[in-house]
Structure 1
């Protein structure tokens, strides 16, 4: 089976790389990143390596070919040297080389970080930020001194590779020097690698000017939006990127007039990772490199093409990690999503099928219908993720179920009758769609959180989900597909999650943190509650008998028709409310027990008047009481520390007379 999976994924990777090996048109190379300019040339990163081209564009020439990636090139003040971040020796370090190319020289030696990746939200370590204008020193951001990955330090190193010196600020992100190097403009927080859009929280960047001589600090943006990538130009103006207009655009700040102006007005894609020279600045936009003339403040794209062998795009056989693996209903095949395609693979015999074969689209979250006929999945073939189904054997075309998506869809789940799909989205809705009619029904909308946990009942009539509320504990809710009603299955006293229906549909199981066993400290008078979560169950009908009702082995009397010795009395296995009432006839009363009285157990269920039930089905409710919310739940574990102790046998056995015993038993059993 393991070798089979390797074959599936290597086949998928081979197929996708074949499609990717086709070169983009010569004048339309995209994904050009982290540009820098000396007003004569532009250096940028493409496919993890550095390339250079003239400011008028053309065919780019490769500068690096080392292992790992080379990123964030920055020209020296005279434009003759190029500092950058690379991984020649394993670690991510700062290097310098001649601007036209040459052997790189390593300048920094730092510890390896656990989180040091270009795709990480913190970004890589030791990112080159800028050069000083009056000295051959390079300033970079380092994260290896702090255990907190949110904190970066601004360090400076010269071309001799001396010990780095920290700038006199406690932390920092992107930074730039004033023309005379007496001041810096910098971000105190760094969020440039995050994918949050239009963020307005406490981690939003501002741009601050710090006087290296006096220590004076000034906030020059003071805006709730993201303001980052400061660039101090020779004209003494500070250029930067801001999200205050929705899309990230270029702005300029005049320190003398203390005025800010907008320079670009993009509405489609953001301005990313700009860098400045003496006469112009360059930046990313829509995968291309654009150049803005500082004198005219006009921008234009730079026509750049890459003509290389691009060995990384050649077809290869490689092991890749699947994004999802789910079995067919009979377990004879599995449906796999890997590298954006949907595959099915046999357990033992038969072909591996690539059902989608769409290198230009991304498919994910595939699942098999319970009747085994169809595969459901999400695809962005239209530009947005929509819901599709297709025959599982690859014999037919896909059917698009949803249209006009305005948000991110996720986690489609088939109903057990294979007639509907249930899915969630980033608008925090839970919805179903009828496969035949394509009718969409809103199950729930949560204004506070995305709904991530949900389940179908075996008869496809009920949907249970975890409902989280801001400032309160999560609870389980149930939706009835027949009448559209919603029932609270749990109250808000205890956190509940992970709902699931029993196979017979009579019970709703869920996890809940309601087990309170404090553990006290040996050194301080503090306590903590650990392992609070257990599995609990709620009956979906009042007629459902408890699986935890008390049982008792009773002695049968020969010749009286009673149960054989040692058998279980069937009346004792019923619900407490269904147990037979003790007879007043002495002849039918059980004999008094002899010997030691059995001790009460600690795991008996609650009394009959507190049996937890919830009735989400329409047939179980009256119009006057559409909902039934239980006040407690039985634990499905072997024992519960909160369960009430059962009454001892002497407190319930019939005595001399037929009058019922008092509710409270004596403090000690009678002597026998």
Structure 2
């Protein structure tokens, strides 16, 4: 039976997703009202025409704009188009033979001619001033694993490639007189990172090709890229004002000028020719008059048959992420390729709740009363919170959120009346479902790459616990009153405390804490990268007078005929915090034989969480029986039970059911046992049902990678879902 053994729950290829998403992107790029096409990349300009990259191909259009035509019709990638000085040829990089090589094609159309044959990647940069050779960058001349590129030229008629004298070069153009080159020396690991100010940034270099004298525009630490020539001036892209804009530097007067002043989207690529400049910004192509400094958007329409953008059935099994369980584990909710699905545990069909390939739906959560599924959707252009009936039959309710941004980690309160989530700005929000009004109840003041708030609801829906950084960059556990918004710091900040969760009994607050975090407190300090941070398991006894569940015990022999200790009656069976009349604890249930019929599980008894903040730090207990290791994702089960992942443990040769040798070990700790035990291995993500009796986990695979085609030869394993009885003995 499903309640006793694992069962694989796969999402089969019955949903049109990937192609539909691309078709929606194409619809967005070509407005239905005949407006200009967007997502046009890498423009280049001649006296009469503009060429650009779009939908994996090279296109060309008159400088005034209008309907573009294709120069290439290849389903692979073609990029980096550049007109020859006379405008008769377009050089570009293409993958026709499976490798990125240099090609040229007549501007009126025709068959592309391949110029380079080396297995290295060749990126076209432009032409020599006489139009006889194509200049490109390539790392072909190095044996390094990540080779440094340099500039090369190859004759447009074909022949042997010749290296230019500069030892390194990534982006650059030769001046019209052929005497100088303006270039960017090195590439960076993240070309799209905005406002990066690290050591990979370099100024634009302008070098005399005879004397090798070097000059540079004034520069401090900005990201300056893609220089091009207009007479004696160098135009380039720089983010020195916070947004990537076009700047110019006059090599004679040494004057630096900001030419464009966009405040929304960055300028991405730029080129020049025939005395004008073209660049890409906001998905459109702009033409800039260097004399007046004025720019205009070139209205271009590009239409065609794009087979890869046509709707089709697509297997999205490998895309499953953000899994969650219904309250009693009858169904599983998952996010896959921007859609929300629910999957039956045993009987029934997979349901697509969203059917919205043109938008992204993410972070689903199931209400504890079982009636609703919530998720975030950007269908309107900004993310809204959507609440939908779990069967998908009723019209979804959309709730517009103040200051829309990106949202994370949504979860329902146990009474199903509120929804909690976090945002890009590291705020913890609580939304009243009835009114749709949200308020901030907590925050993290320090923006670092890892999002570590991980808020959790108390069993009575009145409190929220979360982790926030202090000025020392250590995390501390905070508890916030949902009604008043008042927050209290629970831990003292001398250890790094993360992943708070509430015990189902309402008596304890569990969390992980590290006492060797100091060397890793500064996230960008690379000297600490070889130091692993380990965590221990802790709990705080919330109410004064409540005894610690970890008090010392002593086995005493009372003689033959004495009654043994039973659950709820003291001794080892009473340590779970169970109350008289409550359901047996997990340990007792697991000890029953398979032949013993199990009574239906009763709903959790409502609890009230009482917190005595006075002296609370003195009631924090280190949980014994849990060695300090690399733990994360602490989650509660039934009363006295928590689960957590141990990173990397399965990869040390301890395979396991569903593990395939990868992923993490899922550990379970029960107060009734006073020890942690391996519950399952090979886990990438997991969730526990609201009643604490069912657990869903996803095996280590490739979520978000590949093209949803499943595992095959040489491909990573496809992640699978397994539903297990959380009360079982491992």
Match of 1:447 in 2: 445
SS at match of 1:551: coil
**C-alpha displacement at 1:572, in angstroms?**
9.4
Task: State which of 514, 537, 540 in structure 2 corresponds to 1:538.
Answer: 540
Distance 2:239 2:464 in 1: 40
**C-alpha displacement at 1:15, in angstroms?**
5.4
CA contact (8 A) 1:557 1:564 kept: no
Q: Is the aligned partner of 1:11 residue 2:20? A: no
Distance 2:327 2:562 in 1: 47
Over residues 566-599 of structure 1, what are the superposed CA-to-partner deviations in whole Å (9 max), with x where a residue is unaligned? xxx9679999xxxxxxxxxxxxxxxxxxxxxxxx
CA contact (8 A) 1:515 1:534 kept: no
Distance 1:133 1:269 in 2: 32
**C-alpha displacement at 1:327, in angstroms?**
2.8
Distance 1:530 1:27 in 2: 54
Match of 1:35 in 2: 43
**C-alpha displacement at 1:146, in angstroms?**
7.7
Rate the CA distance shift 1:620–1:469 in 2: closer, same or farther, 3 A: closer
**C-alpha displacement at 1:73, in angstroms?**
0.9
Q: Is the aligned partner of 1:104 residue 2:113? A: yes
Q: Is the aligned partner of 1:68 residue 2:76? A: yes
After TM superposition, list the pairs within 5 Å mapping 1:262-661 onto structure 2.
Answer: 262-320=258-316, 321-449=319-447, 450-469=451-470, 471-481=472-482, 483-514=484-515, 532-556=534-558, 619-621=610-612, 626=614, 628-630=616-618, 633-638=621-626
**Greater shift after overlay, 329-338 or 277-286?**
329-338
When Rg is computed on C-alpha atoms for both structures, the one with the higher figure is 1
Match of 2:704 in 1: none
Distance 2:126 2:434 in 1: 60
Distance 1:62 1:631 in 2: 72
Rate the CA distance shift 1:540–1:395 in 2: closer, same or farther, 3 A: same
Rate the CA distance shift 1:93–1:493 in 2: closer, same or farther, 3 A: farther
CA contact (8 A) 1:422 1:433 kept: yes
**C-alpha displacement at 1:48, in angstroms?**
0.7
CA contact (8 A) 2:542 2:616 kept: no
Distance 2:461 2:90 in 1: 64
Distance 2:304 2:295 in 1: 28
Distance 1:398 1:571 in 2: 51
Over residues 510-549 of structure 1, what are the superposed CA-to-partner deviations in whole Å (9 max), with x where a residue is unaligned? 2333379xxxxxxxxxxx8767333333333344444443
Over residues 553-573 of structure 1, what are the superposed CA-to-partner deviations in whole Å (9 max), with x where a residue is unaligned? 334357xx98889xxx96799
**C-alpha displacement at 1:72, in angstroms?**
0.8
Match of 1:153 in 2: 149
Match of 1:208 in 2: 205
Match of 2:255 in 1: 259
Over residues 96-118 of structure 1, what are the superposed CA-to-partner deviations in whole Å (9 max), with x where a residue is unaligned? 3344432330415235xxxxxxx
Distance 1:18 1:267 in 2: 29
Distance 1:32 1:88 in 2: 21
- Report the number of matched residues: 566
Rate the CA distance shift 1:147–1:372 in 2: closer, same or farther, 3 A: farther
CA contact (8 A) 1:230 1:240 kept: yes
**C-alpha displacement at 1:277, in angstroms?**
0.9
**Greater shift after overlay, 497-506 or 426-435?**
497-506
Rate the CA distance shift 1:635–1:92 in 2: closer, same or farther, 3 A: farther
Task: State which of 162, 184, 199 in structure 1 corresponds to 2:181.
Answer: 184
Rate the CA distance shift 1:442–1:305 in 2: closer, same or farther, 3 A: closer
Rate the CA distance shift 1:202–1:14 in 2: closer, same or farther, 3 A: closer
Over residues 325-347 of structure 1, what are the superposed CA-to-partner deviations in whole Å (9 max), with x where a residue is unaligned? 33322333333333433333434
Q: Is the aligned partner of 1:54 residue 2:62? A: yes
Distance 2:574 2:134 in 1: 80
Distance 1:387 1:95 in 2: 48
After TM superposition, list the pairs within 5 Å mapping 1:112-123 onto structure 2.
Answer: none
**C-alpha displacement at 1:86, in angstroms?**
1.8
CA contact (8 A) 1:208 1:219 kept: yes
Distance 1:217 1:627 in 2: 67
Structure 2, unmatched stretches of 5+, are 1-6, 518-529, 576-607, 630-730
CA contact (8 A) 2:476 2:498 kept: yes
Distance 1:571 1:343 in 2: 45
**C-alpha displacement at 1:634, in angstroms?**
1.2
**Greater shift after overlay, 429-438 or 506-515?**
506-515
Normalising by structure 1, we get a TM-score of 0.74
Higher RCO, Cα 8 Å, sep 6+: 2
CA contact (8 A) 2:173 2:229 kept: yes
**C-alpha displacement at 1:359, in angstroms?**
4.4
CA contact (8 A) 1:187 1:206 kept: yes
Structure 1, unmatched stretches of 5+, are 112-124, 517-527, 576-616, 642-672
CA contact (8 A) 2:150 2:170 kept: yes
SS at match of 1:281: strand
Distance 1:136 1:538 in 2: 76
CA contact (8 A) 1:555 1:564 kept: no
CA contact (8 A) 2:17 2:357 kept: no
Distance 2:472 2:206 in 1: 39
SS at match of 1:383: coil
Over residues 293-327 of structure 1, what are the superposed CA-to-partner deviations in whole Å (9 max), with x where a residue is unaligned? 34554433333222322222222222232453333
Over residues 154-183 of structure 1, what are the superposed CA-to-partner deviations in whole Å (9 max), with x where a residue is unaligned? 33131345356365244x442222233333
Over residues 467-489 of structure 1, what are the superposed CA-to-partner deviations in whole Å (9 max), with x where a residue is unaligned? 22464322322223355443333
Distance 2:382 2:164 in 1: 46
SS at match of 2:510: strand
**Greater shift after overlay, 441-450 or 187-196?**
187-196
SS at match of 1:629: helix
CA contact (8 A) 2:60 2:68 kept: yes
**Greater shift after overlay, 456-465 or 250-259?**
456-465
**C-alpha displacement at 1:257, in angstroms?**
0.9
Distance 2:516 2:290 in 1: 66
**C-alpha displacement at 1:127, in angstroms?**
2.8
Rate the CA distance shift 1:419–1:66 in 2: closer, same or farther, 3 A: same
Rate the CA distance shift 1:192–1:277 in 2: closer, same or farther, 3 A: farther
Rate the CA distance shift 1:451–1:548 in 2: closer, same or farther, 3 A: closer
Normalising by structure 2, we get a TM-score of 0.69
Task: State which of 124, 127, 130 in structure 1 corresponds to 2:123.
Answer: 127
Match of 2:679 in 1: none
After TM superposition, list the pairs within 5 Å mapping 1:191-202 onto structure 2.
Answer: 194-200=191-197, 202=199
Rate the CA distance shift 1:545–1:140 in 2: closer, same or farther, 3 A: farther
CA contact (8 A) 1:550 1:573 kept: no
Rate the CA distance shift 1:45–1:464 in 2: closer, same or farther, 3 A: same
SS at match of 1:336: strand
Match of 2:228 in 1: 231
CA contact (8 A) 1:488 1:629 kept: no
**C-alpha displacement at 1:185, in angstroms?**
1.8
CA contact (8 A) 1:472 1:492 kept: no
